[in-house]
Chains A and B, each alone.
Chain A
Amino acid sequence: MNRRKFLGAIGAAGLTITGAGKVLAGEKPVMGAAVKDVEGLPDSYAVLFDSNICIGCRQCEMGCQQENQLPEPDVDFHDPRIFEQTRRTDWKTYTLINQYDDEAPGVGWLYRKTQCMHCLEPACAHSCFVKAFSKRQDGAVVYDRKVCVGCRYCMMACPFNIPAYEYHIALDPLVTKCTFCEHRLLDGREPACVEVCPVRAMEFGTRTEMLNLARRRILDNPDMYVDHIYGEHEMGGTNWLYLSPVPFPEIGMRMDLGTTPAGNYTSGALGGVPIITAFWPVLLVGAYAIARRKDKIAREERDQYVSRMIAQAGPEVGRKLAERLSKAQELDQAAIEEEVRKALAEAAAKTESEEAH
């Protein structure tokens, strides 16, 4: 092992230990129970979207469609009527622009782009039972179409409602979402949507650079921005970051998601698995042993009782009683007592009649 390889190995091990490596592609996943605080991937790629700059031209949508060879859209990319409704991602739309002001469609001043946020701790990756989603070290949350079963739990889990599904496909439907142009990231190139934006509403760089840029913009123009970088901490942090001139809920971004990474919500429950596996047999076999012992003691007490009866009332009555009791063995205690009472009454009656003779 040469020096470089050695340092690489140390680095990989370190990443796993910090917990950020849990759902990273190629890393050994850590059980949900072992979720640690997320340090983030400071050197991974990130994009900063600025709602102050976006003009709603939808060039990014077109660029995405061409780059990823998506189907033709239902409504032309130049048709402003699209803004009459608020849209979400679907199987032919990885990214889209919505308008959030009260102006006429397409001539407003408040637009926001939607696409996968590329979470640091993605809910989709944590929820996938076949690891079809994974977080790459360069920041992209990627999808492996070759293992996806199509259970759609990722769609349930995603707090940003991003993954969509090919409901119309009969035999091999897939989950679809923005890939961060993963093929371009490998060459260090920015995603297609960023590249085609005519007004540079998006900047591309490392996550640290983008956070610093965002902070600088807020500090330099405090009147233009809400003092919040969306995605810095939301759901444990994302690789897509947002700036807005208005409170984020007004551009359709929830402020109540919290800063807890999705995986932390399930780690407690998953942590119960080893406890149950290890301790339930103890409890259950213990209960079994107690029940067995109780039966044994009951049997012993019964036998003692029978022999005492035999000693007291003579062998004939004792034999009958033992017979009845063994017949009643299957029944419960009440039935046994009933049998005992019957046998005793009979014995008493017999003694009485003998005395009378």
Chain B
Amino acid sequence: MTNQHNEHPWEVKSPWITPFNVVAALIVLVGIYLTYLRFTGGLAAVTNLDDNYPWGIWISFDLLCGVALAAGGYTTAAACYVFGIKKYHAAVRPAVLTAFLGYALVVFALHYDVGQPWRLAYPIFVQQGTTSVLFEVGLCVFLYVTVLFLEFLPAPLERLGIKRVRNIMIKLTLVLTVFGVILSTMHQSSLGALYLILPSKMHPLWYSTHLPIYFFVSSMFAGLSMVIFESTLSHRWYHNRMDKSHLEGTPHVTFGFAKAAAWIMAGYFFIKFFGVVLNNNWAYLNTFYGMIFSIEMLGFVALPAFLYIKGVKTRNIKLIRWTAVLTVFGIIFNRFNVSLVAYNYHLPSEMKYFPALAEIGVTIFVITIGLIVFKFIATRTPIFYELPEYKGSH
């Protein structure tokens, strides 16, 4: 990676026919076909869901992982605007955009999963099931998508030159950030709390009354690692769209976030460890499920925490970037363990769920849409650079 930067990143044009665009177009075509199958043949036509497994990978990945990995939005915004660490400023816009798209895609993906998607807003506008954890999740996600949209709004407004509205939005930054952290705290933890009501179906190693806290704490380092991971990819693809301050700010973000993630992961490791102690789950460790649990805790929490620290100490940016990938995989592993491995653990293996190819296809389709929209927005609005007239004014 060079230290050269483009003086006019807003003038970069990209060609239409690229390998990315071709592959993305093919995936979208397949996705449209799967959409047709889903809405003509029902969930049975595209999924392996059944009465014992009402939630499959569209919940495990699209919802649980999607929300956790979009946590970069609230962590980055909080670090920069609430805790006043201004050197992370360059990371805010990409993180907020990713979070906004992440949440929008979660909502989009849920339209495939729920039976009657046109009623998706019923819990908010028609009849409120206030005793339900899912109601809290739904309400917070609905509000947070709105907040993220408002947080993202200055970028397109700057591009379109609508200064007055843009300046109002900038004034609201702190309020929106605080509101975003509150909403994130609640729904990140609530996703874990979803499983509290079914203790009889969950493996004791993953079931705990502290599930909401586990989910919230792990969302923090999930978000931080995702920001590092994304900035790695962005620097590869959008280097010529980044201005000097973005390029100079990135190492601060990478090292700072790695340090923060390692610190939080150490805390997370110990609260999970105390979970084993408090629930007296030692006996389970020496089983198949115990092995999976140990791999999760040692291989995907303790190890990356150690590698992050090593990367920071030796100023090894490459190591940190790979550790971010490992951490992201760890989060996916954890969410899958809770929602698919621990859930219904007592069922005989022939009754267990494995996603259908079409189900995985829809998930890939959703991710691809995210990448396409991200690319569309990042190449047209000031995400990786500041327009000259707004420099340093937010």
Contacts and interface: CB of A to CB of B under 8 A. Distances in A.
**Interface core residue of A29, A157, A331 (most chain B CB under 10 Å):** A157
B262 to A, nearest CB: 20
19 contacts: A31-B130, A123-B198, A125-B131, A126-B197, A131-B127, A151-B114, A155-B54, A156-B54, A159-B200, A161-B51, A161-B52, A165-B115, A169-B42, A172-B115, A269-B212, A273-B186, A284-B182, A287-B83, A288-B81
Interface in B1-55: 38-45, 47, 49-52, 54-55
Given A128-B129, A130-B129, A147-B127, A152 B190 contact: no
B123 interface: yes
B84 interface: yes
B174 interface: yes
Given A173-B42, A269-B212, A148 B197 contact: no
Interface of B is mostly: helix
A213 B68 CA distance: 52
B136 interface: yes
B116 A129 contact: no
A166 B50 CA distance: 9
Contacts of B119: 130, 147-150
A276 B115 contact: no
B302 interface: no
A280 B216 CA distance: 14
A171 interface: yes
A266 B123 CA distance: 18
Contacts of A356: none
Given A150-B115, A265-B199, A168 B84 contact: no
Contacts of B40: 170
Contacts of A350: none
Interface string A272-292: 110011001100110110011
Given A130-B123, A173-B43, A269-B190, A284 B82 contact: yes
Contact of B87 (A128, A254, A332): A332
A137 interface: no
Interface of A: 22-23, 29-32, 88-90, 123, 125-132, 147-153, 155-157, 159, 161, 163-174, 254, 256-258, 262-263, 265-266, 268-270, 272-273, 276-277, 280-281, 284-285, 287-288, 291-292, 294-295, 330-332
Given A157-B198, A266-B193, A280-B182, 15 more contacts: A125-B131, A129-B137, A130-B122, A151-B114, A152-B114, A153-B134, A163-B51, A164-B51, A165-B49, A262-B197, A269-B196, A280-B178, A280-B185, A288-B83, A291-B84
Nearest to B121: A149
Contacts of B137: 129
A181 to B, nearest CB: 22
Interface in B66-117: 78, 81-87, 113-117
A156 B185 CA distance: 24
Contacts of A125: 131
B142 to A, nearest CB: 11
Contact of B129 (A89, A129, A170, A262): A129
B133 interface: yes
Interface in B265-304: none
Nearest to B51: A164
B44 A88 contact: no
B260 to A, nearest CB: 14
Contact of B54 (A22, A123, A152): A152
B181 A284 contact: yes
Nearest to A257: B200
A169 to B, nearest CB: 5
Determine which residue in B40, B42, B174, B392 has the highest number of CB atoms from chain A within 10 A of its CB, and name it: B42
B316 interface: no
